[in-house]
């Protein structure tokens, strides 16, 4: 998924969240449980998801919830077993023929991991009739409204090798991460957006995203560092709650400065975050976690962690 997809499977990828699609050949997915509109509105994850959508697109408050479900269960891949929690909600303009949006939210972190936007452009000028720059603009708008601060990413767009149907793939990257932060497919009149970085893929990666948007930029949540800083061991080291950390960062302090006020060194902060990330990376790759492998991985990750713990909110990365 990092670079290309075989043309014949792109249509499927548009409809199925990437995480589920990538795993479908090697695991049995847990069964989905349907939810009523009333259940969605009182469910903690469902309610939070709708609030984020309504804030991003106020017009969707008038949309109908036409489908909703949740899934929870153990998912095994090789020797790794993780507990999958996901809530999915599909909304559409009343009448059933207009704009449609699908949201897949991680039930553990509360983060919207997948967004599928359909029929938001008029049929006479659908997405695939637009220029590359116009497509980028449409996708940028979706990311900016749903996640904020799209300016911090570099974007690469290419047309997929799919002779049966025009399909574009857009990868949004940031130098702090090896993988794309967002991967997007545009096909027909549909934008399918997946947030790659920040989605837990192994048991030792942060599995409970306590707070989103720890940093902000131009008054909008900046989710770039959430995966690094939502670390239980970091909270324990600093003797601080996730909410308290966000409040301190909002004052313009860096993580390093907050740590210093608690007699914790920069290196201690680096070690804690790098070890969590390294263990998750090694286990996700199926590599034995030896002392040597862990040390080498931590050394490779530390340069990516450093800008995060020295960053001040409302400043450019």
177-199 pLDDT, tens digit each: 778 889 999 998 999 999 987 65
pLDDT at 184: 96
82 touches 203 (CB < 8 A): yes
Q: Closest by alpha carbon to 214, among 193, 240, 194, 192?
A: 240
209 occurs within a structural domain: no
How many beta carbons lie within 10 A of that of residue 150, not counting itself? Answer: 19
Give me the mean pLDDT over the 229-249 stretch: 91
Distances (CA, A) of 52 to 105, 173, 200, 230: 11, 23, 21, 20
Q: How far is CA 254 from the centre of its chain?
A: 23
Share of the chain above pLDDT 90, in %: 48
pLDDT for residue 14 is more than 50 = no
200 occurs within a structural domain: no
Last residue of a domain, one of 167, 195, 223: 195
Question: How would you label 199-231 residue by residue, b for 16+ Cβ within 10 Å and e otherwise?
Answer: bbbbebbbbebbbbbbbbbeeebbbbbbbbbbb
pLDDT at 16: 40
103 occurs within a structural domain: yes
Q: How far is CA 45 from the centre of its chain?
A: 15
265 occurs within a structural domain: yes
Q: Closest by alpha carbon to 232, among 192, 200, 184?
A: 200
pLDDT at 178: 74
Domain count, the chain: 2
**Which tens digits make up the pLDDT trace of 74-127?**
665 555 556 678 999 999 998 877 899 999 998 877 889 999 999 999 888 888
pLDDT at 192: 96
Both 102 and 242 in a single domain? no
Spatial distance between the Cα atoms of 317 and 176, rounded to a whole number of angstroms: 10
Distances (CA, A) of 243 to 202, 212, 224, 240, 248: 25, 10, 17, 8, 9
Name the phi and psi angles at 217, rounded to 5: -150, 130
316 occurs within a structural domain: no
**Which tens digits make up the pLDDT trace of 208-228?**
456 788 998 888 888 888 888
Structural domain containing residue 299: 215-309
Both 190 and 64 in a single domain? yes
pLDDT for residue 20 is more than 60 = no
Both 25 and 170 in a single domain? yes
Please, which pLDDT band fits residue 150 given cuts at 50, 70 and 90? confident
Task: Look at the block and give the residue holding tokens 């286990």.
Answer: 283
Please, which pLDDT band fits residue 163 given cuts at 50, 70 and 90? low
Give me the mean pLDDT over the 229-237 stretch: 91
201 occurs within a structural domain: no
Both 52 and 151 in a single domain? yes
Both 141 and 49 in a single domain? yes
pTM, rounded to two decimals: 0.62
């Amino acid at each position: 998924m990092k670079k290309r997809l075989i043309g014949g499977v792109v249509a499927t990828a548009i409809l199925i969240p990437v995480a589920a699609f990538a795993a479908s050949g090697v695991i049995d997915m847990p069964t989905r449980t349907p939810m009523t509109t009333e259940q969605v509105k009182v469910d903690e994850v469902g309610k939070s998801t709708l609030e984020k959508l309504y804030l991003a697109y106020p017009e969707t408050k008038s949309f109908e919830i036409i489908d909703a479900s949740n899934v929870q269960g153990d998912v095994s891949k090789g020797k790794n077993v993780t507990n999958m929690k996901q809530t999915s909600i599909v909304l559409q303009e009343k009448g059933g023929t207009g704009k449609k949006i699908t949201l897949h939210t991680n039930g553990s972190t509360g983060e919207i991991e997948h967004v599928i936007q359909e029929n938001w452009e008029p049929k006479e000028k659908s997405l695939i009739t637009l220029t590359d720059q116009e497509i980028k603009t449409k996708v940028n708008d979706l990311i900016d409204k749903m996640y904020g601060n799209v300016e911090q990413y570099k974007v690469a767009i290419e047309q997929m090798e799919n002779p049966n149907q025009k399909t574009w793939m857009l990868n949004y990257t940031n130098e702090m991460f090896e993988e794309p932060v967002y991967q997007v497919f545009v096909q027909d009149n549909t934008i399918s957006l997946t947030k790659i970085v920040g989605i837990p893929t192994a048991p030792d990666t942060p599995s409970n995203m306590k707070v989103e948007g720890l940093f902000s930029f131009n008054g909008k949540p900046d989710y770039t560092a959430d995966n690094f800083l939502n670390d239980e061991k970091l909270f324990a080291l600093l003797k601080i709650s996730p909410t308290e950390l966000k409040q301190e960062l909002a004052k313009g302090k860096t993580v390093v400065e907050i740590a210093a006020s608690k007699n914790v060194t920069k290196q201690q902060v680096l070690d804690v975050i790098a070890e969590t990330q390294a263990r998750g990376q090694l286990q996700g790759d199926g590599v034995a976690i030896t002392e040597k492998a862990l040390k080498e991985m931590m050394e490779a990750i530390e340069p990516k962690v450093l800008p995060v713990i020295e960053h001040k909110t409302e400043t450019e990365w």
